[in-house]
Amino acid sequence: MPPLFALLAMLVLFPFPAAAQDEVNVVFLNSDPVVAVHSNFRGQTVTLFGNIEPLEGAPAGPYGVVILVQGPSSDWVVREKARQAGLVLNSASARYAQTPSYYAILSSSPLAQLVSPEIIDRQRLSFSGLAALTRQAGDPAGLDPEFVRLMRSAGNFIEGERSVVMHSATSFSARVPVASNAANGLYLARALIIADGKVIGETTTRFTVRTQGFERYVANLARSNALLYGLATILIALGTGWLGGVLFKR
């Protein structure tokens, strides 16, 4: 991805809320800084792992960990079908602008046991909260649950109540599935360390998903240079037709 694109992807990432006062240091790393999507890519798992280093005076634990992973943002539309004059057609719709195309909420134990609803709300640890936040003003809120359901079934919203594994009191890891249709761009993972229902430390790590090879070139060309792309497609079509006529003389 050219540097400009990387920069743009960073800018359009959904902003995280402000960090809390840290009482622990966290080392947080990932296994694959770049996930390359090839033509026969069938998905991959990125492993995130980290270690908690309590500072002086930090709560003794036990610590809980919540990991939030978000991918590049896109605009989405949910449409509801209705029957009018015997025909099934689209009626109500709701737009969700600049909503992460990938949003994973992983935790070491069920969220409700770890933190209060206020923290869930403030740290955007719920899909419904995210939907309510990005829904265009004036669009019906009734479609929020459907948006969340469809994003979940498409593998864009992922929830794992015990997906963060605590290997010891202070070390943890989580496996993040990247589906074959994952959007290109920067993925940001944020680890929140929880003790006694409070966020006592947080840190981020990032990885990039990008389509490689010919397919990426084609997709980029179609968007950045549509004129050339259109002309090239027409020439390929004419050439293939001509070649077919020559190869199989009628």
Partner 1 sequence: MPIYLPIAELSVDVFFLLGIGAAIGFISGIFGVGGGFLLTPMLLFTGVPAPVAVASVTAQVIASSTSGALSYFRRGAMDEKLGGFLVLGGVFGSALGVWIFGILSAMGQLDLFLSLGYLLLLGSVGTLMFIESARSLLKRNREKPAVRRRLPGQIPWVQRLPFRTRFRKSQLYISVLPVMFIGFVIGIIGALLGIGGGFVLVPALVYILRVPGKVVVGTSLLHLIAVMAVTCFLHALQTQSVDTILAFCLMVGSVAGAQFGASAGQHLPGEQLRILLALLILAIAIRFALGIVIWPDDPFTLTKLGFGES
Sequence-ordered list of residues with C-beta below 8 angstroms from that of 189, at least 6 positions apart, any chain: 28, 30, 48, 67, 68, 69, 176, 204, 205, 206, 207
Closer CB to partner 1, residue 4 or residue 87? Answer: 87
Q: CA-to-CA distance for 56 and 75, rounded, in angstroms? A: 45
Contact between 24 and partner 1 per CB under 8 A: no
What's the CA angle centered on 5, arms 222 and 189, to 5 degrees?
Answer: 120
Residue 75 Cβ, how far from partner 1 at the closest point, in Å?
A: 4
Sequence-ordered list of residues with C-beta below 8 angstroms from that of 163, at least 6 positions apart, any chain: 67, 106, 107, 174, 175
Residues within window 89-148 making contact with partner 1, judged by CB under 8 A: 89-90, 93, 101, 143, 146-147
CA torsion sign, 48 to 54 to 59 to 61? Answer: positive
Closer CB to partner 1, residue 169 or residue 231? Answer: 231
Contact between 236 and partner 1 per CB under 8 A: yes
Per the CB < 8 A criterion, the answer to whether 109 and 161 are in contact is yes
Q: Which residue, among 90, 70, 52, 37, has the nearest Cα to 166 in the 3D structure? A: 52
Among the residue ranges 15-23, 60-68, 102-110, 222-230, the one whose residues contact partner 1 (CB under 8 A): 222-230
Among 49, 63, 76, 187, binds partner 1 (CB under 8 A): 76
Binding flags for partner 1, 143-182, as an x/- string (CB under 8 A): x--xx-xxx--x-------------------------xx-
Residues that bind partner 1 (CB under 8 A): 37-41, 74-83, 86-90, 93, 101, 143, 146-147, 149-151, 154, 180-181, 211, 215-216, 218-219, 222-223, 226-227, 229-234, 236-238, 240-245, 248, 250
